A and B are shown apart, each in its own frame.
Chain A
């Protein structure tokens, strides 16, 4: 199944801001270019977008966890998705 990779190190967030709803929940459908999360580094917040369409199978990283470049953030199920 396709994996969404973090291109940079930093702190991973699934929401656009504190107290806001997550960008997307497991089980929800996403499209190419849709934001899955944010990585914070050097006082900058970089949105990580899906490069495939499908259904979010799971997140591989907890909210607020440290990620490194190349780490898997989420797994996307594309099978059977039109």
Chain B
């Protein structure tokens, strides 16, 4: 069983839950940017949702691919709202779609968000690299030949490893929001002390707007800028007050090069560098970044570690309940 790419879309890559354990040597975790949507898509086609990397899906950015299957199979499309078509006929999203050999799947123009994913029963069966099937495009490994998909690529599909759920459609109340303003919860630090009181207030009390400079590595926001504490820059820190002596970056950490535009690092980000991180988006809100289209009005709200951990548990419970609702 295989899936043949007819047109690749803007940037379609193979992603699973990601590659953990190598960030210390500069290899980012990668994996689906909108994890909730990927998990739901996999659950709809009965891919095992137990521990591990999970089944690999196609992550599509803005413009989806057109592909054909060569066997009877099931797929599900979840994520950014988009028209799904099988042989040109509209089909529902967040639902299991049964396909016959030769069926062609294509997509319309997205109506919000940035990314949607396609899960196939059995998962995309590309080789594991360092314990994951996720593509790291910048490193040119993982996924399908270490790159985004191209016309003519033939992707192997794995063997189904779980039963299909009873329901073929996710109930409406479990579908997240892909438009409108965002509030991103952050833990301040490790370099928040480099901001003046006014700089800190500007960061936390202003409305920021997501620019088109946003991808799997990071998302850049436009706004009033911030203000740094004046200091004599230490050796190795560079001359700009937004610079520090190189340090490790956390996934979700926020740097503000030049003090003008905050950049939130996402799953393909570099693991370290010389910009002061003023805060880190909590793990429970990382999916919200993947659902933010350019132009999205965004506020950063400070929370404590306890709140962040509680939010992580709440998010995990929300996912379990959504999957349980499928029966």
B109/A42 in contact, CB under 8 A: no
A22 contacts across to B, CB distance below 8 A: none
Tell me whether B61 and A68 are in contact (CB under 8 A). no
Determine whether A69 belongs to the interface, using a CB cutoff of 8 Å to chain B: yes
Q: When chains A and B are docked, how far (Å) is the Cα of A44 from the Cα of B109?
A: 18
| Most chain A beta carbons < 10 A, residue from B11, B61, B109, B295 | B109
* B63 beta carbon closer than 8 Å to chain A: yes
Which A residues are CB-close (under 8 A) to B215? 42-43
Q: Which of the segments A4-12, A13-21, A28-36, A52-60 contacts the partner chain?
A: A4-12
The answer on a CB contact under 8 Å between A68 and B63 is no
Docked Cα-Cα span, A22 to B294, in Å, equals: 25
CB pair A7 B63 closer than 8 Å: yes
B111 at the interface (CB under 8 A from A): yes
Task: Evaluate contact between B109 and A9: CB separation under 8 angstroms.
Answer: no
| Tally of A interface residues using CB under 8 Å | 16
Whether a CB of chain A sits under 8 angstroms from the CB of B62 is: yes
Residue of B nearest to A11 (CB): B212
Q: How large is the interface on B (under 10, 10 to 19, 20 to 34, 35 or more residues)?
A: 10 to 19
Cα of A41 to Cα of B214 in the assembled complex, Å: 8
Interchain CB contact (< 8 A) of A7 among B11, B109, B212, B294: B109
Residue of A with least CB distance to B107: A7
A70 contacts partner chain B, Cβ-Cβ < 8 Å: yes
Residues of A within 8 A of B295 (CB): 9, 66, 68
B293, A46: Cβ atoms under 8 Å? no
Contacting A at CB under 8 A, from B214-254, are 214-215
Q: Which residue of A lies closest to B11 (CB)?
A: A42
Instruction: State A21–B62 Cα separation when bound (angstroms).
Output: 28
The distance from the CB of B215 to the nearest CB of chain A, in whole angstroms, is 4
- With A8-B62, A68-B295 as given contacts, are A42 and B111 in contact (CB-CB < 8 Å)? no
Which residues of chain A from 66 to 82 have any CB-CB distance to chain B below 8 Å in the complex?
66, 68-70
By the criterion CB–CB under 8 Å, are A68 and B293 in contact? yes
Query: With A10-B294, A41-B62, A44-B11 in contact, do A70 and B109 touch (Cβ < 8 Å)?
Result: yes
B61 touches A42 (CB 8 A): yes
Residues on B with beta carbons closer than 8 Å to the beta carbon of A44: 10-11
Residues B111 and A9 in contact, CB atoms below 8 Å apart? no
A46 with B212: CB separation less than 8 A: no
Residue of A nearest to B113 (CB): A69
Q: Which residues on A sit within 8 Å (CB–CB) of B62?
A: 7-9, 41-42, 69
* Contact B212 A69, beta carbon cutoff 8 Å: no
1/0 contact string of B102-142 vs chain A (CB within 8 Å): 00000001110000000000000000000000000000000
Question: Hey, which chain A residues are within 8 Å of B61, CB to CB?
Answer: 42
In the complex, what distance in Å separates the CA atom of A10 from the CA atom of B11? Answer: 14
Cα-based distance from A6 to B63 in the complex (angstroms):
10
CB of A44 to closest CB in B, whole Å: 6
Q: A41-B212, A68-B295 are in contact. Are A8 and B10 (CB under 8 A)?
A: yes
Give the one of A7, A40, A66, A70 with max B CB within 10 A. Answer: A7
- B178 CB to closest chain A CB, in angstroms? 12
Whole-angstrom CA separation of A68 from B62 in the bound complex: 10
Closest 9 CB pairs of A and B: A8-B62, A42-B215, A69-B109, A9-B294, A10-B212, A7-B109, A69-B110, A8-B63, A70-B109
Given A8-B110, A70-B109; 7 other pairs, CB 8 A cutoff: A5-B109, A7-B63, A8-B10, A9-B294, A10-B212, A11-B212, A42-B215
Can you list 8 A-B contacts (CB < 8 A)? A8-B63, A40-B212, A41-B212, A44-B10, A46-B63, A66-B295, A68-B294, A68-B295
